[in-house]
Chain A
Amino acid sequence: MAPPAQSHRSPSPSQPSGKGEVSDLKTQLRLLAGSRAPGTDDTKRELFKKVISYMTIGIDVSSVFSEMVMCSATSDIVLKKMCYLYVGNYAKHNPDLALLTINFLQRDCKDEDPMIRGLALRSLCLLGVANLVEYLVGPLGNGLKDGNSYVRMVAAVGVLKLYHLSASTCLDADFPPLLKQLMLKDKDSQVVANCLTSLQEIWSLEASTSEEAARERETLLSKPIVYYFLNRMKEFSEWAQCIILELVSKYAPMDTEEIFDIMNLLEDRLHHANGAVVLAIIKVFLHMTLSMTDVHQQVYERIKAPLLTLVSSGSPEQSYAVLSHLHLLVMRAPYIFSSDYKHFYCQYNEPFYVKKLKLEMLTAVANESNTYEIVTELCEYVANVDISMARESIRAVGKIALQQYDVNAIVDRLLQFLEMEKEHVTAETLVLVKDLLRKYPQWSHDCIAVVGNISSKNVQEPKAKAALIWMLGEYAQDMQDSPYILEGLVENWDEEDSTEVRLHLLTAVMKCFLRRAPETQKALGDALAAGVADFHQDVRDRALLYYRLLKYDVSVAKRIVNPPKQAVSVFADTQSSEMKDRIFDEFNSLSVVYQKPSYMFTDKEHRGPFAFSEELGNLSIGTEPSDAAVAAQRVEANDNDLLLGTSEKEEGHGYRSNGSAYSAPSYNASTTAGASQGHFDLVSIDQPSTVHPPASFAIDDLLGLGMPAAPSSAPPTLLLNAKASIDANAFQQKWRQQSISLSQETSIDPRGVAGMMNPQALPQHMQGHSINCIASGGQAPKFKFFFFAQKEDGSSAYLVECIINSSSCRVQLKIKADDQATSQAFSELFQSALAKFGSA
């Protein structure tokens, strides 16, 4: 073998220290290459070991490639192994060198020793050089037929490696059918398991382009194959069991009897020591029983003990992963762990990431019967442990308060926190007290008494400061010193770095002024002046708005800035229920830990096998792009601030409800310039109710707030094309491009819901009304459909996303149309068709 040109290349300049040693090694290896003297192998071993060490610590030893290959002509397995390692590492980046090794690897694939055959085959597949793939086919084919199971095991995965190198070579060699044969008849369980993983991956990836592959992918989920695995379950290693259980969880049994059979067969696995197996079983149980409400509840009872054991025994990392799953389950069935809340009490020495999840659990399981104990426990954390834990605990108390009806004791506790006089406790509590007041205004008296004693100097954190300022403004009439405290804050305007605080200060001073004008006049003037001069756009805009409002009419300003508020009954949930369902579908995966579905954090090419809902998933990405983008940034969902979100809402609400009142006089003003103040008042009070009813109706519709009972008797004038058609891809594209022109919620006839038992019934029914179903999915109680229809003359297409909740009989519609003007008419048509479903 002639030394290749590459041997002249120098080691990478970043590792000059290794240069001397490497060339030393090279000479020594060359000397040994031809030697047959006794003891040579030992010397070689030492040298090889050195080469591997250099390679690992990052010294480039690719220059000794040819010497290594020459020395590897040996029967010594230890040397061979090291040589394989070396080759595997450098071949990818030196394709020409890789060619050198093909020869001896192929020879080793025929060695007597099965260990060498297996290792050589694995190394051969790892070379990863695309133009050498044809050399793989022969050895792989032999490997799959090898008499030794170790070699077959390696070959089964080798096929998958080949597929990733060159899909066509792999398919042309007919490897997938071979794998399938092997999977169904091999005696060795690990060979079988490896065949399954390889096939799953290959067929899932092929399924998008080949119908046959898609069919094969389905057959993996067919009854004979699933049962074949179930019956052999006990033979498999724990990891293989996890893979098989994942497969089983996708299987759709024919009837309830089958479900019970499978569950009985698998129940003993819940005693498995490996937590991974236990979670995989739980996934199977939960998914299989989704449509059987009673049994589903029993499953929750059954899995409780194993899950709690996994939390309390084992590593903290395992607790973390399991707690994430528990949290998901509790969200779906809050009562299941409500009597086990003590399992979620925090131990002092636990890592913070576990404690944090435990706090979330405590918040989630709190109900009328256990709240007192839980809150007592949380209060201990507030007083005792480190700062971040104290903060989280206060938030937890606050969250519990917001979700309970009886908050007496909790409010007292929160107020006690304020008296602890620790800065971080005060700050965190203020934020919560503010949220609490928005939901329970009746507590304002008690809270204000305590909050009033807090010196604003002791509150530095922007969020807390903003909360305090909000209360100073909102409860200006109850807090004696409010105007003066605000005045002091306004004086220090320039030192306030936080935009949020400055915005709130403006609003608070404004509110205070509207109630106690004489005392606040000076502060307001200063605040507006400072605000108008502020460098931040939002602050400037808000100051200008207030200024103009006041200049225009104080009473209008009052209604806009300080309208009577309704208590907030429910704070916006950060996750849609659709999202939660999607995460539940991906139980036992990273989705649960991240609390978002996998399409948000994986690239398309890296989605796992069997991503069935992918098509539907892509569609819905289009509808909530901002949500997805935001959620992706927001791993710590806890940190999302109620204040910010809601304060914006509050302002928005102010504009909206008074929108017509505000705009109406302004154009009037231009025509009757110099009109008296009194006249304006008149106009602004009268106008909205008389002039603008259609406008406000339109707004209502846009917001989807309660359909103004569409007269069902009015015959729809819109006619649909009975032969309209579109393919799924075009639909998908269109759906992504267009914006929603109509979004409505309505209800469906319970008889129609009964018809949902057969999911094909609705698409057929709708087709009778010239509305075609493009895609459907979901499980009881939630079904999702995508429909397509076209105007009779073909001029306008309508795309509909329809989510039917069969337990609440509610229907959510999202309609997109080419011709938006007709979307209302289409919606009526669609709904009347839907209403006939089940009744016909």
Chain B
Amino acid sequence: MAATSALFVLDIKGRCLISRDYRGNVSTAEVERFFSKHLEKEGDMESHGPICYDNGVSYVFIQHSNVYILAASRQNSNAATLLVFLHRVVHVLKHYFEKLEEESLKDNFVVVYELLDEIMDFGYPQYTEAKILSEFIKTDAYRMEASQKPPMAVTNAVSWRSEGILYRTNEVFLDVVEKVNLLVNSNGQIIRSEVNGALKMQTRLSGMPECKLGLNDRVLMESQNQSSRVKAIDLEDIKFHQCVRLARFENDRTISFIPPDGTFDLMTYRLSTQVKPLVWVEARIERHSRSRVEMLVKARSQFKERSTATSVMIELPLPPDATSPTVKTSIGYAKYAPEKDALLWTIKSFPGNKEFLLKAEFKLPSVLSEDAVDRKAPICVKFEIPYFTVSGMQIRYLKIIEKSGYQALPWVRYITIAGDYELRLS
């Protein structure tokens, strides 16, 4: 793998806030020049994608709030690795400063330097586990009297967890979060539907606990000949946190691991079996005259009565030159958001198998503007359905064994949320 020349954190205008030069062959001035040139030409950094080439240097960057994190290299670096790495840097910095933005960096130059030195050495990624790093690089060090511990955990056999962690009550929180992506075309056909699931874990466990997780995974259930009270499901592509013993999973589908301390994604999975759209929205637009337009919207929940969707927000696009909309709804409230050219229909609680209506009326200028490009945005929907998974994923057990023999409490929650959920207008 090729080495990175330097890491930079730049502000929104492309000025360097802080940087670490590992190889001494890309200067700050070069980066700033490239960035300002690019910003001038394109207006923003978005359009060109996260990887750019200029004058012998490759710039790989991501944006987070009002800063850019950028890696520069003169070699044929590993593009995907660098991007994952940069996201990891963001994760680490966020762990330290809660918010990663220009201000929080300016207050913490010293810590940022220390971190940049530990996460990468001479251009090669080293340690990016926030939890471990925070054991020997501390933000409050400047008030601390005691000297810092040597970084023994960095080089443990279990690199993601230190020894000697102690909690009074040992608890594990496990959230099964399923994100539904949906794309419906203007004829009302579902053209793409996908579920991305994640098991998000928060551990507060002492010592070096051994964990074993049981799911209603079809492959496993069939191999164990379990009479299925629980419906088994097919998981398409599973990815695990580095703590999970992959070989073990490959052999007998057992998910066993020593968890890191704190919050992490234990596993992610994907299902592309088509599911019935949980929330269905239809909009009909009637033009009564050149300037008066009426929109009729019907929203239907297509899940069982016992579940309820919360924080439902339906974003209904309006023409950019629409004025003075008036809205009537059978539930919730709707607000005109001119900055988004949309009507936002919010429904706090949307029970299963129900249908609600919205009627909006708005005016258009009678003179058609010349350069009005017909830019039809889709209807976007956001919602959360607690205690429910589309896939039917269930946690059958979570066993925690530690040599001190304590009892740990596992807390499991399920939730389904809308991801990219788009229905195109006809």
How far does the alpha carbon of A588 sit from the alpha carbon of B192 in the complex, in Å?
28
Q: Is there a chain A Cβ closer than 8 Å to B183's Cβ? A: yes
7 sampled A-B residue pairs with Cβ under 8 A: A113-B147, A115-B151, A273-B265, A273-B268, A315-B62, A351-B49, A590-B77
Given contacts A160-B122, A309-B239, A320-B50, contact A345 B155 (CB under 8 A): no
Known: A150-B150, A380-B424. A122 touches B117 (CB 8 A): yes
B residues near A809, Cβ cutoff 8 Å: none
Given contacts A243-B124, A276-B78, A279-B80, 13 further A-B contacts (CB under 8 A): A75-B147, A150-B155, A157-B121, A190-B155, A268-B250, A272-B240, A273-B268, A313-B196, A317-B83, A318-B87, A353-B50, A356-B49, A590-B73
Complex Cα–Cα for A149 and B151 (A): 9
Q: Mark A547-570, 1 if CB is under 8 A from B, else 0.
A: 000000000000000000000000
Q: Mark B178-201, 1 if CB is under 8 A from A, else 0.
A: 000101011000011010100000
Q: Given A81-B110, A239-B128, A608-B2, decide whether A588 and B377 contact each other with a Cβ distance below 8 A.
A: no
Residue in B58, B81, B114 with the greatest tally of chain A CB atoms within 10 Å: B81
Q: Is the CB of B424 within 8 A of A384?
A: yes
- B154 and A268 within 8 A (CB): no
The smallest beta-carbon distance between B378 and chain A, in angstroms, is 5
B167 contacts A by Cβ under 8 Å? no
Separation of A239 and B250 alpha carbons in the complex (Å): 22
Cβ–Cβ < 8 Å partners of B122 in chain A:
157, 160-161
Supposing A237-B159, A315-B87, A351-B46 touch, asked if A606 and B80 sit within 8 A by C-beta, the answer is no
Q: Chain A's nearest CB lies how many Å from the CB of B281?
A: 14
CB neighbours of B3 from chain A (8 A):
197, 201
Given the known A-B contacts A188-B155, A347-B422, are A306 and B237 also in contact in the complex, defined by CB atoms under 8 Å? yes
Partner of A242, one of B24, B50, B62, B81: B81
Q: Does B304 have its Cβ within 8 Å of any Cβ on chain A?
A: no
Q: What is the CB-to-nearest-CB distance from B145 to chain A, in angstroms, rounded to a whole number?
A: 9
User: What residues of A have a CB within 8 angstroms of the CB of B155 in the complex?
Assistant: 149-150, 153, 188-191
When C-beta atoms are compared, the residue in chain A nearest to B51 turns out to be A593
CB of A572, distance to nearest CB on chain B (Å): 24
Cα A589 to Cα B148 in complex, Å, equals 39
* Of A237, A271, A343, A385, the contact of B240 (CB 8 Å cutoff): A271
What separation, in Å, do the CA atoms of A309 and B46 have in the docked complex?
A: 23
Question: Once bound together, how far apart are the Cα atoms of A591 and B377, in whole Å?
Answer: 35
Residue of B whose beta carbon sits closest to that of A53: B109
Min distance, Cβ B105 to any Cβ of chain A, angstroms:
9
Closest Cβ of chain B to A250, distance in Å, is 12
Query: Is the beta-carbon distance between A348 and B75 smaller than 8 angstroms?
Result: no
CA gap between A239 and B84 in the complex, in Å: 10
Report whether A387 and B373 are in contact in the complex, using a CB–CB cutoff of 8 Å: yes
Closest Cβ–Cβ distance, residue A361 to chain B (whole Å): 14
Q: What band does the interface of chain B fall in when counting residues whose beta carbon is under 8 Å from A?
A: 35 or more
Give the shortest distance, in Å, between B342 (CB) and chain A (any CB).
12
**Contact among A118, A276, A606 for B81, CB-based, below 8 A:** A276
Q: Is B375 an interface residue (CB 8 A)?
A: yes
A349: min CB distance to chain B, Å: 7
Q: Among the interface residues B77, B80, B113, which one has the most CB atoms of the partner chain A within 10 A?
A: B80
Q: Which chain A positions have C-beta within 8 A of B375?
A: 384-386
- Give complex CA distance A273, B239 in Å: 5
Q: Is the CB of A274 within 8 A of B84?
A: yes
Main secondary structure of the interface of B (DSSP, over half): mixed
A230-259 interface with B by 8 A CB criterion: 234-235, 237-239, 242-243, 246
Known: A157-B122, A353-B47. Is A273-B241 also a contact (CB below 8 A)? yes
Contacts of A354 in B (CB 8 A): 49
Are B239 and A272 closer than 8 Å at their CB atoms?
Answer: yes
Inter-chain CA distance A606–B75, complex, in Å, is 5
Q: Tell me if A77 counts as interface (CB < 8 A to partner B).
A: yes
The main secondary structure of chain A at its interface with chain B is helix
**Residues of B with C-beta under 8 A to A85:** 110, 113-114
- CB-CB < 8 A to B84: which residues of A? 274-276, 318
**Cβ-closest chain B residue relative to A305:** B237
Question: In the assembled complex, which residues on chain B have CB atoms less than 8 Å from the CB atom of A387?
Answer: 373
CB distance from B387 to the nearest CB of A (A): 23
Determine how close the nearest CB of chain B comes to the CB of A437; give it in whole angstroms: 28
Determine if A318 and B80 form an interchain contact, defined as CB atoms under 8 angstroms apart. yes
Q: A733 on the interface (CB 8 Å rule)?
A: no
Question: Can you list, as one digit per residue, whether each of A597-608 has a CB less than 8 Å from chain B (1) or not (0)?
Answer: 010011100111
Which of these, A78, A114, A325, contacts B142 with CB under 8 Å?
A: A78
CA A216 – CA B270 in complex, angstroms?
A: 44
Kindly report which residue of chain A lies nearest to residue B90, judged by CB atoms. A315
Is B170's beta carbon under 8 Å from chain A? no
How long is the Cα–Cα vector from A278 to B2 in the complex, in angstroms?
Answer: 18
Please give, as numbers and ranges, the residues of chain B lying within 8 Å of A385 by CB-CB distance. 375-376
Q: Which residues of A sit under 8 angstroms from B141, Cβ to Cβ?
A: 78
Contacts of B380 in A (CB 8 A): 348-349
Interface residue B242 (Cβ < 8 Å from any Cβ of A)? yes
B43 to chain A, nearest CB (A): 12
Selected contact of A607 from candidates B75, B127, B144, B238, CB within 8 Å: B75
Which of B185, B192, B241 has the most A CB atoms < 10 Å from its CB? B192
A353 and B81 contacting across the interface, CB-CB below 8 Å:
no
Let me know if B237 and A589 touch, CB within 8 A. Answer: no
Question: For B77, what are the chain A residues with a Cβ–Cβ distance below 8 Å?
Answer: 589-590
CB contacts under 8 Å to A, within B265-289, are: 265, 267-268, 270
- Cβ < 8 Å to A, chain B residues 221-271: 236-242, 244-247, 249-250, 265, 267-268, 270
A589–B18 Cα gap in the complex (Å)?
A: 27
Tell me whether B126 is interfacial, beta carbon within 8 Å: yes
Q: Is the CB of B377 within 8 A of A348?
A: yes
CB within 8 Å of A: which of B46-77? 46-51, 53, 56, 58, 62, 73-77
Residues of B within 8 A of A239 (CB): 81, 85, 124-126, 128
- A residues 580-598 near B (Cβ < 8 Å) are 586, 588-594, 598
Cα distance, A806 to B120, chains bound together (Å): 45
A797 within 8 A of B: no
Q: Please name all residues of chain A whose beta carbon is closer than 8 Å to the beta carbon of B367 when the two chains form the complex.
A: none
Chain A residues whose C-beta falls within 8 Å of the C-beta of B80 in the assembled complex? 275-276, 279, 318, 321-322, 325, 588
CB nearest neighbor in B for A594: B53
Flag whether A656 is at the interface (Cβ < 8 A).
no
Contact of B181 among A78, A312, A422 (CB under 8 A): A312
Least Cβ–Cβ distance between B84 and chain A, in angstroms: 5
